[in-house]
């Protein structure tokens, strides 16, 4: 299926947000995620199904000031 990840097109076999994050190398990272503009908490990623055309944003915390 095709999704948008951080504004770029990606083809994936993942069916959940958690699977997509693992597939993209984010396993274990501290992140904020949103699908189609809606925040998805870490506890919900394993059950949050992704669909073709979803707009997914993955944000890592920034350090500094």
Q: Within a domain: residue 38?
A: yes
Q: Within a domain: residue 6?
A: yes
Q: Quick: pLDDT tens for 3-59.
A: 999 999 999 999 999 999 999 998 888 999 999 999 999 999 999 999 999 999 999
Range of the domain at 34: 2-59
Q: Within a domain: residue 65?
A: no
Q: Within a domain: residue 64?
A: no
Based on the structure, what is the number of domains in the chain? 1
Per residue, what are the HEC states of 2-65?
A: EEEECCEEEECCCCEHHHHHHHCCCCCCCCEEEECCEEECHHHCCCCECCCCCEEEEECCCCCC
This prediction's pTM: 0.90
Q: Within a domain: residue 52?
A: yes
pLDDT for 41: 96
Domain of residue 23, CATH code: 3.10.20.30
CA 57 to chain centre: 6
Q: Within a domain: residue 8?
A: yes
């Amino acid at each position: 299926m095709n999704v948008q990840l951080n504004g770029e097109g990606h083809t994936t076999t993942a069916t959940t947000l958690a699977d997509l994050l693992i597939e993209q190398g984010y396993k274990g990272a501290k992140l904020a995620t949103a699908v189609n503009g809606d925040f998805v908490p870490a506890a919900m990623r394993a059950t949050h199904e992704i669909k073709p055309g979803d707009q997914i944003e993955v944000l890592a915390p920034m350090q500094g000031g």
